[in-house]
Chain A
Amino acid sequence: MRTKRKILAVLKYVAVFLVFLCTVLPIFWMFVCSISKTKYLISMDSPILPLEITFERYESIFAVRTSELGVKTAGEVFRIATKNSLIVAVLTTAISLAVGTLAAYAFARLRFKKKDALLSFSLFAQMLPAIALIIPMFFIFKKLEMNDRLITLVLVYISFVLPYVIWVLNGYFKTIPKDLEDAARIDGCSRLRAFVQVVVPISGPGFVAVGVLAFLMSWDEFMYSLLLITSQTNKTIPVAISEFSSQFGVDYGMMMTGGCIATVIPLALALIFQKWISMGLTSGAVKE
């Protein structure tokens, strides 16, 4: 009995270790390739881990060197794309949270006509694949002469981030006991004040959860950005990375470097806000 238990305990740790390896090895490999000398990357006979490493690629991206002849260097392309992605993701998140919080509260607490239909439509909007909207959007924004602008991307991202925010916060507000607001209202607060002064301050975790996920969704988006943005100076990071190899020749080391840089922000967010993320993923789905 005792030996059986010991064996089971050992097996448990072996399994955990295997899961750990499967989880981190590909990311580790991406980093290794980004600092490996190129000759180790394109040889089948060399050892798997490179014998010499170099941080040249990171330097070339972060060193502020403006190009001559108007041609953008890889570093510039990256810095611009990162900045664009940050702008779009932050704006999308901020607007969706501000507007969505109000709607979510109405859906969670108030009675009004067509509530169920509107909530269902918002769920549908969140689930709708980009391919169903991109073609009409392409023509509509072209007519409005809004193609190739960052603000257009923000609007388009709101089309799926805002419904997500409403859906999840609706579930979150429902978990907050109604008594708190009722008490405030008896004390003479208006509905809006009861919401702003009682519900909002204790909903921090909900806002963090949705906020982080909204940011990650916008940061990750690819198809709209690929098709609506044409000029180099407005591209977001997923598109810049995708076009990287065709623009600068197939340079795997550089591709992996770009990948590492694009992963740093979402990875940091995921690890810092791990607990909240799991709530943001489940509270819309797992009601109460």
Chain B
Amino acid sequence: MFRLRKKEADMIKKIEVSEARFAHKLIAPSMVLIFGLVLLPLLYAVYMTLFKVGVSGPTSEFLGLKQYIRVVTDRSFWSSLRVTVYFTVVSLALQTVLGIAVALLLNLEFRGRGFMRGIILAPWAVPTIVNAQLWGWIYNASYGVLNKILIKLGMISKPIIWLGTSSLAINSVIAADTWRMTPLYVLMFLSGLQTINGELYEAAKVDGAGAWRRFCHITLPLLKPIILVVLVLRTMQALRVFEIIYQLTQGGPNNSTMVVSFYAYFKTFSSLDFGYGSTIGMLIAVITIIITLVYKKVLEDKEV
């Protein structure tokens, strides 16, 4: 009896070892690439934040935590973080609401629904940098079509400088980003809506629940997991916003659109302050770790 157990255990162990060995072979190429291309540069970045960095790379002069102190006491850094948070919160809120609204609409029965569900993706297919240029041209103060239309309609008498006014610039950028990114939300929410059982609505209808109440008590709670997923994913994407700022405003006017990615880029490649730039990069990496953990938690909770 005992012997048999031992044999069995040995066999199971053998299978497990062979399984693990096979798994290691399968993941090896990927892990070499990912570790080499992500972990190695990150470690190098840590090194760069601790030593003085010249144009040709880190020197032997040890700085300790001086660079980190320089960053966290820099008011421009905090201001860029504030702008980034503003951009993230406003664009996420706007895009989530619009995304749900359009997804609900496209989930209704109407003629041409298949066509609409396809075409809705079009803005997202426009490359980020092209989107930035397109909106830069639409917003153009002298010849842009937006001012042209508003003037023709008599809504304004002289052109608005969309991207050159501190209070307007960041919101104009958010609008441009929203046009391109909303389709992504629509797509994800649509797939969420399609999993909701139609009988639930019928039952609620029989019970006399109106459309708004059905939305609040059936649709929203059932969409909640996917809303969470989308929010975390998009928070990460919004934190990395760079191209559209680079192309449209270069952080101006008066640093009103200076997001943290662009600030790090500016410090690094315009002021050639490599140590400073990599220190901001490190802080962003730490934020990314936190968000990754939150995201995993959200996904795991959802599975239960």
Contact = CB atoms under 8 A, between A and B. Distances in A.
Interface string A41-80: 1111000100000000000000000000000000000000
B124 A136 contact: no
Interface in B175-190: 179, 183-184, 187-188, 190
B168 interface: no
B284 interface: yes
Contacts of A277: 121, 187
A139 B57 contact: yes
Contacts of B108: 12
Given A33-B137, A135-B278, A222-B242, A103 B29 contact: yes
A287 interface: yes
Contact of A131 (B42, B135, B159, B261): B261
Q: Pick the most buried of B126, B236, B269, B299: most chain A CB atoms within 10 A of its CB.
A: B126
B156 interface: no
Interface in B107-127: 108, 110, 112, 116-127
Contact of A278 (B130, B190, B260, B289): B190
A238 B106 CA distance: 32
Interface string A253-281: 00110110011001101110010011001
Given A129-B288, A222-B129, A278 B119 contact: no
Contacts of A156: 37
A99 B29 contact: yes
A166 B302 CA distance: 20
B140 to A, nearest CB: 8
A42 B284 CA distance: 42
Interface residues of B, number: 103
18 contacts: A16-B112, A19-B116, A100-B30, A103-B30, A105-B26, A110-B20, A111-B16, A120-B296, A124-B292, A129-B284, A135-B268, A139-B274, A163-B38, A241-B127, A267-B125, A270-B122, A270-B125, A271-B125
Interface of A: 12-13, 15-16, 19-20, 22-24, 26-27, 29-30, 33, 41-44, 48, 99-100, 102-103, 105-107, 110-113, 115, 118, 120-125, 127-137, 139-140, 142-143, 155-156, 158-159, 162-163, 166, 191-192, 216, 219-220, 222-223, 226-227, 237-239, 241-242, 252, 255-256, 258-259, 262-263, 266-267, 269-271, 274, 277-278, 281-282, 285-288
